[in-house]
Amino acid sequence: MAIEGAQTTPAGRIRIGMVGGGEGAFIGAVHRIAMRLDDQYELVAGALSSTPEKAMRSGAALGLDPARTYDSFEDMAKREARRKDGIEAVAIVTPNHMHVAPALAFLKAGIHVICDKPLSISFKEGLKLKAAVAKSGKIFALTHNYTGYPLVRQAREMVAAGELGEIRLVQVEYPQDWLSQDIENTGQKQAEWRTDPARSGAGGAIGDIGTHAYNLADFITQIPVVQLSAELTSFVPGRRLDDNCQIMLRYANGARGMLWVSQVAPGHENGLKIRVYGTKGSIEWVQANPNYLIWSQLGQPQMILTRGGPQTGAAAARVTRVPGGHPEGYLEGFANIYTEVAHAIRAARTGAAPDPAVLFPSLDDGLKGMAFIEAAVASSRKNARWVAL
């Protein structure tokens, strides 16, 4: 296990700032725990809110130096870039429509970017980052955190090694129930922006969680989806974005897939689950109980692989902190993304070649996600006609 070594013994923490994530934000706090868990980062600056007083109050609560608590990300990018002890990286945790502008600003300022998902509110908008990232030479990471789970990496490694044979089927689902009623009209902030096209883009559930489901399948199988047929529905009266999406997938190798995401499925808190079937076997992983991976080999009894347990490989081991039976969870998975980025940043410091074992979602993954959202919306508008991806 990797509990000793890079993850716990930083030779100089990476100075990081945050855009968004002030008072009342959920995901900002998660990002802060994730950056702290392996002691790889030190949060030293923030533009935590676009409301100045709230920004100051939030910075103070986090123990930030008032001089480095900014009113705007533009200001932060400029001034941090000038400091000798300025931030090396920034975490962008604003709603979707506020990802690209700060990302461009920090990249321009020569600062690595870690950005929440989905990438942007449109593929076109996201594409602006392509040239900017290339030009900057900086790291751009997207927090598709579910790829940080050790057994998700195990699954990817097994597929790549051919343990499942040729892949035939993908079944991925991500049901939730928290939007089963119109809570966006009751003042619930999280629900408000997620159901608002202006802040979320053309996709509701498809953008918020559909991208996670799609990314997870992509990460594990590494096989491109070439066509999809999508039926997006808004079940809750008055809701302007989809709250349920059912999608059929055609893969480049002839495999077929089904993807279901919902935010109106009572009984599901956060039900991300994936199953991948090949000619020789299958795997099944459930996010809510992430320390187990069911491996079925054709003609053999099912086996339960455990995080840290027998027959798990190097990919899982390097993002595992504690032995099997001591459950790791959502925050550890999220932290793995941050720690992987930290490895890349350290390599970038010295100009060393990046370690091929280091894995985190990139701008390309973000663009794939945007293309997926737009294809799904387009398909759904055309009565679920097949749309190329």
Query: In the range 107-166, which residues lie near a second copy by CB under 8 A?
Result: 164
344 touches 353 (CB < 8 A): no
Q: Which of 193, 256, 371, 378 binds a second copy (CB under 8 A)?
A: 256
50 is a site residue for a second copy (CB under 8 A): no
388 is a site residue for a second copy (CB under 8 A): no
280 is a site residue for a second copy (CB under 8 A): yes
Least distance CB 235 / a second copy (angstroms)? 5
Give the span between the Cα atoms of 202 and 141, in whole angstroms: 23
Binding residues for a second copy restricted to 215-234, rule: CB under 8 A:
229, 231, 233
In terms of CB distance, is 173 or 340 closer to a second copy? Answer: 173
Q: Which of 330, 338, 360, 372 binds a second copy (CB under 8 A)?
A: 330
Least distance CB 39 / a second copy (angstroms)? 6
In terms of CB distance, is 298 or 388 closer to a second copy? Answer: 298
Least distance CB 57 / a second copy (angstroms)? 10
In terms of CB distance, is 126 or 257 closer to a second copy? Answer: 257
278 is a site residue for a second copy (CB under 8 A): yes
Residue 322 DSSP SS3: coil
Lookup: tokens for 186:
């009751």
CA dist list (Å): 124 to 144, 366, 367: 20, 12, 9
Give the span between the Cα atoms of 260 and 281, in whole angstroms: 22
317 is a site residue for a second copy (CB under 8 A): no
Q: Which of 134, 322, 352, 357 binds a second copy (CB under 8 A)?
A: 322
CA dist list (Å): 260 to 36, 104, 249, 251: 33, 33, 11, 16
327 is a site residue for a second copy (CB under 8 A): yes
Residue 354's H or E segment, with its range, is none
Give the span between the Cα atoms of 44 and 360, in whole angstroms: 23
CA dist list (Å): 222 to 219, 226, 244, 252, 273: 6, 12, 25, 10, 17
Least distance CB 155 / a second copy (angstroms)? 13
| Count of residues in contact with a second copy, rule CB under 8 A | 95
Binding residues for a second copy restricted to 282-311, rule: CB under 8 A:
282, 284, 287-291, 294-306, 308-311
Lookup: tokens for 127:
């594409």
Q: What angle do CA 72, 73, 75 make, to 5 degrees?
A: 70
66 is a site residue for a second copy (CB under 8 A): no
Least distance CB 105 / a second copy (angstroms)? 26
63 is a site residue for a second copy (CB under 8 A): yes
23 is a site residue for a second copy (CB under 8 A): yes
